[in-house]
Amino acid sequence: MNAFGQLFRVTIVGESHGPAVGVIIDGIPAGLPLSADDFAVDIERRKGGVQKGTTPRKEDDFPLFQTGLFNGHATGAPMTIFFENKNTRSGDYEKQRAVPRPGHADMVAHQKFGGFEDFRGGGHFSGRLTVGLVAAGVIAKKILQHITVKAELIEVGGETDIEKGLQKAIDAKDSVGGIVECRVSGLPPGLGEPFFDSVESMLAHAVFAIPAVRGIEFGTGFAAAKMFGVDHNDPIENSEGTTRTNHAGGVVGGITNGNELVFRIAIKPTSSTPKEQVTLNWETNQQEQFSVKGRHDLCIALRVPVVLEAVTAVVLADLLARVNAVPRVWTA
């Protein structure tokens, strides 16, 4: 099911070239003040067109509140926010119906849904749906209050100088991948549950809903596999659980330990590269040369930070609600 969260629950719907994409959010505290203005900054961050290397498709992306908002406050009932799809050019896709774009979901969607999938612009699989995630994130961040969620692009095409990485892609007339890091400060210790609902489990679950993510690592991550135990362990310094180093990235045993939460995700290069490629034509059953029409990002990772923040905030709002739910440490 296309939903995430137990107590702060987010459902995303829509297709790239359908009437609209949207998000339904259940579990918002009644009385939370909200207006369209609250969404402007994050929605702008997600949009293409501003930074070098992002898609020229422009959408207003004005949030249309269909339900759950009344007199500028959340009502406590499920909130529905829609974003109209205006700037679509479906013809681009209809012409190439039988030619699945390499790296995109065209082929798997066809296999799974037997040809009934909305194929225009990737349909339901489109990155367009992340606008709903961003909207949910705006609300989750409000709920988190003094907890700060901040993601940034730290590497493009293997370069920590992002401009340099982008230039490599421009020079190569190709797309390129990147790494996004997320840091959360102000988290209380005790979020997450042992084993299946560990903080890493919940975050990783939600993070892999973001298109193009190929990996996630917490704290030292894959580098931990090369370390000795004495170097990896973080010495505990005080009764709040503050550690001298933070190799754990703020999570031990699946539970937040009160230190900064740190994790990174790997983003593959945009599948729609300007380069010529080879793919199947399922009508002729022959491979053929393929070159992308449509409009796309040179480096999709540029647009990911705000989406990663959103998804992270959604997960944390849900975990926080769960900790509120049960009075850990019985005091009756």
Residues 95-114 that bind a copy of itself (CB under 8 A): 100, 102-105, 107-109, 111-114
For residue 183, give the 3-state DSSP assignment.
strand
For residue 137, give the 3-state DSSP assignment.
helix
Establish if 328 lies at the interface with a copy of itself (CB under 8 A). yes
Asked if 136 contacts 120 with a C-beta cutoff of 8 angstroms, the reply is no
Site stretch for a copy of itself (CB under 8 A), options 36-44, 49-57, 235-243: 235-243
Q: How far apart are CA 331 and CA 320, in angstroms?
A: 20
Establish if 285 lies at the interface with a copy of itself (CB under 8 A). yes
Per CB under 8 A, which of residues 122..141 are in contact with a copy of itself?
Answer: 123-125, 129
Nearer to a copy of itself, 45 or 208 (CB): 208
Per CB under 8 A, which of residues 54..83 are in contact with a copy of itself?
Answer: 65-68, 70, 73-78, 80, 82
Establish if 91 lies at the interface with a copy of itself (CB under 8 A). no
- Give the residue among 7, 26, 4 at the shortest CA–CA distance from 203: 4
DSSP 270: P
Establish if 258 lies at the interface with a copy of itself (CB under 8 A). yes
Minimum gap (Å) between residue 310 Cβ and a copy of itself: 13
For residue 237, give the 3-state DSSP assignment.
coil
Minimum gap (Å) between residue 223 Cβ and a copy of itself: 8
For residue 153, give the 3-state DSSP assignment.
strand
Establish if 170 lies at the interface with a copy of itself (CB under 8 A). no
Minimum gap (Å) between residue 133 Cβ and a copy of itself: 9
Q: How far apart are CA 77 and CA 6, in angstroms?
A: 15
Establish if 29 lies at the interface with a copy of itself (CB under 8 A). yes
Per CB under 8 A, which of residues 177..216 are in contact with a copy of itself?
Answer: 177-179, 189-190, 193-198, 200-202, 204-209, 211, 213-216
Minimum gap (Å) between residue 58 Cβ and a copy of itself: 21
DSSP 194: S
Asked if 56 contacts 156 with a C-beta cutoff of 8 angstroms, the reply is no
Interface residue with a copy of itself, options 268, 293, 294, 295 (CB under 8 A): 268
Establish if 294 lies at the interface with a copy of itself (CB under 8 A). no
Q: How far apart are CA 102 and CA 125, in angstroms?
A: 14
Establish if 301 lies at the interface with a copy of itself (CB under 8 A). yes
Rounded to 5°, the CA angle 4-253-249 comes to 80
Q: Return the half-sphere exposure (C-beta side, CA atoms, 13 A cut-off) of residue 283.
A: 5
Asked if 137 contacts 175 with a C-beta cutoff of 8 angstroms, the reply is no
Number of residues that bind a copy of itself (CB under 8 A): 155
